Amino acid sequence: MPVQILDPEIQQRIAAGEVIDRPASVVKELIENAIDAGARAISVEVRDGGLGLIRVSDDGCGMTRADAALAPARFSTSKISALPDLEQIRTLGFRGEALNSIVAVAEVELLTRAEGELEGTHVCATGAQIEVAPAASPVGTSVTVSGLFARIPARRRFLKSRTRESELIQQAAARYALAYPQTAFRLVVDGRERLVAPRGSALARIGAVWGRDVAGEMTAVAWQALDLRVQGYVSRPAIARSRRSGQTFFVNGRPVRSGLLAVMVERPYSGRLPPGRHPLCVIQIEVDPRYVDVNVHPQKAEVRFSQERAIYGAVSSAVREALNEFPPSTQWAGATGAGWPFGGLFSTGAVHEAAVDYQIGELRVLAQLHNLYILTQTVDGLAIIDQHAAHEQVLFERLAQGDERVSLSPPAPLGLLPREIEALERIAPALDELGIEVEPFGGPNFVVRTLPASLQEQDAAGLVTALIEESQRRQGSPDELRDRLTMKAACLGAVKAGDRLSIEQMQRLVQDLARVWSPATCPHGRPALAAITLEELDRRFGRS
């Protein structure tokens, strides 16, 4: 097929797919617009998982008739006007395609009135058709979205159940409610109020979203240096969760996801929480916009820092200061070291990076045996590490705890058979939790948009295909499926038996293994290491 320029309508739908991939994306974009408009109160109403109706109303500054008529057009925006503005972005939205992208995949009605205007404006937009008429309206804006993805059935196929889509919408609304306590939020799902959060303090907002019991167990975080500020709340060691779903991060008011930020928050909890438990947090990071790239992800869910060390260090320091009144407990001191047959080498907290770097030299790599095992010298003998099992456990824990996502550029193409497409639809939620985003690209063709950072060097298409095959082997609960896929992904990404490793690579693997909660076995229960003490060697050689 010769090179050609796509039809404008096809261009529009491709661009829409980059921003609007599910009902929660619509809610996110409209809430951001409301916040940028200076809203003091935002109301969200959804029906049928957002596929039936989404309505976001605010009492912000509203729009004039001329602005309202232009708003659905592509790249229309009031937030930037010149290229240098991109380096000083202080609003949540800026690219100008969000409302246009919603119009490309749904029917949109907009009712708005700017302060000082005597009459409001009603805009009805469907595809390329835009109708504008005068209408009665309070000051502010109300956007109603219906028939989402009705013209793109392939997109609907990859949505989760209506109940799950409603849950994702609730999570999105809750994130912004936590980030903006000075704005009142109300969420109604299928006629029932799911969130009512009046304007108030940050701690009161945590109580409105997560409950008073949780709010009562939060402690304040505050840290500042020059133009970098970290503030918010983290949970006291008295409460924790088995997953990181209770951790929220905001950069200049923008919700972001980051496995590294989660690690920085959790590091000071070493010795304060039992293995497998994660603190709750609401962390606000304020930094000069020049040092943050907010356009590295189509939905602005990830950011890139130009001063990573300073920011990650500030977060960890802020949390450490907040936890000073809660000293580490000896109850968990051996939790990470109990599986090590190396005496008390790591008994003071193996997940503490500093402790590992002060002590890791005592676990010195000697050689690789038959490209299978790593021979290391311990304080009282020899440890033999299975390189595949050890790396597999390292990757498993990283993936299970929420590894950072990496966007693939360009996205990796993926072709599937009909039965594989059905399986992909079923495991899509589990893949998403792993950090693997797969999107339809027409017919049997798909693209893999993101991978977890630990697996970014893997063949994306081969990885997804193998996970699909793994899911077809036997049925189970969602939790069992997620665990099986995580184990399979870790196995595929780990170094293999027969791989030649340098001394530096082996030392790095040993160092990584020292940080995991359960270093003695791989995810399948196979031993990852064995130890021989000097006493045993002396006995074998007749020295004692």
Whether the predicted pLDDT of 12 surpasses 90: no
Predicted local distance difference test score (pLDDT) of residue 8: 60
Can you spell out the DSSP letters for 221-290?
A: EEEEETTEEEEEEEE-TT--BSSSTTEEEEETTEEE--HHHHHHHHGGGTTTS-TT-B--EEEEEE--GG
The torsion region of residue 495 among left (phi > 0), alpha (psi -120 to 50) and beta comes to beta
Predicted local distance difference test score (pLDDT) of residue 334: 38
Higher pLDDT, 279 or 298: 279
Q: How far apart are the first and last CA of the chain?
A: 80
Spatial neighbors of 373 by CB under 8 A, at least 6 apart, are 384, 385, 386, 387
Residue 267 structure tokens: 């590091």
Spatial neighbors of 336 by CB under 8 A, at least 6 apart, are 275, 346, 349, 350, 351, 516, 517, 519
pLDDT, one tens digit per residue, over 400-431 is 888 889 999 899 998 887 778 888 988 998 99
Predicted local distance difference test score (pLDDT) of residue 353: 34
Do residues 66 and 112 touch, judged by C-beta distance below 8 A? no
Percent pLDDT > 90 in the chain is 45
- Tell me the CATH number for domain 333-544: 3.30.1540.20
Whether the predicted pLDDT of 111 surpasses 90: yes
pLDDT, one tens digit per residue, over 169-200 is 988 999 999 999 999 999 999 998 889 999 99
Residues 67-95 have a mean pLDDT of 61
Q: How confident is the model at residue 329 (pLDDT cuts 50, 70, 90)?
A: low
What is the distance between the alpha carbons of residues 46 and 303, in angstroms, rounded to a whole number? 29
Spatial neighbors of 61 by CB under 8 A, at least 6 apart, are 37, 38, 114, 115, 139, 140
What is the distance between the alpha carbons of residues 278 and 7, in angstroms, rounded to a whole number? 49
pLDDT, one tens digit per residue, over 390-400 is 999 999 989 98
Q: How confident is the model at residue 75 (pLDDT cuts 50, 70, 90)?
A: low
Predicted local distance difference test score (pLDDT) of residue 323: 93
Predicted local distance difference test score (pLDDT) of residue 384: 92
Residues 95-115 have a mean pLDDT of 84
Q: b vs e for 170-203, b when ≥16 Cβ sit within 10 Å of the residue's Cβ? A: bebbbbbbbbbbebbbbbbbeeeebbebeeeebb
Whether the predicted pLDDT of 339 surpasses 50: no
Beta 228-235 vs 381-386: how paired, if at all?
A: unpaired
Do residues 394 and 523 touch, judged by C-beta distance below 8 A? no
Lowest mean pLDDT among 364-373, 414-423, 455-464: 414-423
Q: How confident is the model at residue 93 (pLDDT cuts 50, 70, 90)?
A: low
Q: Where are the domains of the chain?
A: 8-196, 202-322, 333-544
What is the distance between the alpha carbons of residues 478 and 484, in angstroms, rounded to a whole number? 10
Pick the CATH number of 8-196 from 3.10.450.50, 3.30.565.10, 3.20.20.70, 1.25.40.10: 3.30.565.10
Higher pLDDT, 210 or 131: 131
Collapse the DSSP code of 150 into the 3-class scheme (helix H, G, I; strand E, B; otherwise coil) and give the result: coil
Whether the predicted pLDDT of 110 surpasses 60: yes
Spatial neighbors of 346 by CB under 8 A, at least 6 apart, are 336, 337, 340, 355, 356, 359, 514
Predicted local distance difference test score (pLDDT) of residue 332: 47
Whether the predicted pLDDT of 15 surpasses 60: no
The torsion region of residue 10 among left (phi > 0), alpha (psi -120 to 50) and beta comes to alpha
Cα angle value 382/384/385 (rounded, 5°): 140
As beta bridge partners, residue 445 has 415
Predicted local distance difference test score (pLDDT) of residue 306: 62
Predicted local distance difference test score (pLDDT) of residue 416: 81
Percent pLDDT > 70 in the chain is 83
What is the distance between the alpha carbons of residues 307 and 285, in angstroms, rounded to a whole number? 13
Q: How confident is the model at residue 354 (pLDDT cuts 50, 70, 90)?
A: very low
What is the distance between the alpha carbons of residues 84 and 288, in angstroms, rounded to a whole number? 14
Residue given tokens 């209408």 in the structure block: 135
- CB neighbours (10 Å) of residue 117? 15
Q: How confident is the model at residue 18 (pLDDT cuts 50, 70, 90)?
A: low
Whether the predicted pLDDT of 342 surpasses 70: no
pLDDT, one tens digit per residue, over 226-243 is 788 999 999 998 888 777
What is the distance between the alpha carbons of residues 282 and 251, in angstroms, rounded to a whole number? 11
Using CA atoms, how far residue 204 sits from 197, 215, 222, 413, in Å, is 9, 7, 17, 46
Using CA atoms, how far residue 119 sits from 51, 122, 162, 300, 395, in Å, is 31, 10, 38, 35, 60
Residue 358 structure tokens: 């002060």
Predicted local distance difference test score (pLDDT) of residue 401: 82
- In the CATH hierarchy, which fold is given to the domain comprising 202-322? Ribosomal Protein S5; domain 2 (3.30.230)
Residue 254 structure tokens: 């923008």
Q: How confident is the model at residue 330 (pLDDT cuts 50, 70, 90)?
A: very low
What is the distance between the alpha carbons of residues 231 and 314, in angstroms, rounded to a whole number? 10
pTM exceeding the 0.85 threshold for the entire prediction = no
